[in-house]
Amino acid sequence: MLASPEETASDIWNRLTTRDEADEQRPAPAHPTVWLEDKFDGIRAQLHRSAGRVEIYSRDLKRITEQFPEITTAAGELKDEVMLDGEIVAYAEDRKLSFFDLQKRLGRRDQGDLFISSSITVRYVVFDLIWQNGAGLLHEPLEERREKLEKLALPPLLKRIAVAEAASETEVEAAFHAARRNGNEGLIAKDRHSSYSPGRRGKSWLKLKKAFSTLDVVVVKAEQGHGKRSHVLSDYTFAVRDEHSGASR
């Protein structure tokens, strides 16, 4: 299930608290709130745990199990058979790394030279439970899926995403800035009553991202890519000029 982009906190608030004709059967809440989750800069992935087997699949349905053996091993400790939706995130000294750090793992089976430093860890941040012990949960409301997720015993390296509620567009904006201060991309806002619609970019999940400030830079170095990008240049190094001294950095 995908999220549709919105440009402002006001757009998020109005979209999720204003009923349209399709929502006439749903009573309007006396004090509406918006369900918020931080948007991580990682790799979106589903984790499937069945009896004696664990698999991880990327958003484009590619099997990436071998690229993340530590998550696969941890998921093997789950007592329930489940399908989880979430984000793979890399950390170093409690600081989140970027998607580009994780991307180097994709398409590579030899992990010997990846993440050599013992200070770098990979975690799977779970934000949805869509199947459990033979029962499909796609058509259950998000808040009921979350209740089941809260009761699920998660092993180390698997972590439930934190959910916050905002009672105004001002609180949505404040949550966005808090997410950015925590090193995340922005926010995902969700309709707590929504079912799970695979492959659909509807209006039940909304994402709020804002462009970073821009700089004029010059490319001074490029390295050979990895995996699927091995035939192109990647990992660019940029330089900027100091306006006062004229030196480049």
Q: Which residues are tagged catalytic?
A: 39
With contact defined as beta carbons under 8 Å apart, do 248 and 240 qualify? yes
Question: In the Cβ-directed half-sphere of 199, how many Cα atoms lie within 13 Å?
Answer: 2
**Burial class of residue 88 (count of CB atoms within 10 Å of its CB; 0-12, 13-18, 19+):** buried
Q: Measured between alpha carbons, how far is 32 from 223 in angstroms, rounded to an integer?
A: 51
Q: How far is CA 223 from CA 195, 233, 234, in A?
A: 44, 5, 5
Tell me how far apart the alpha carbons of residues 106 and 90 are, in angstroms, rounded to a whole number. 13
Sign of CA dihedral 167, 171, 176, 179: negative
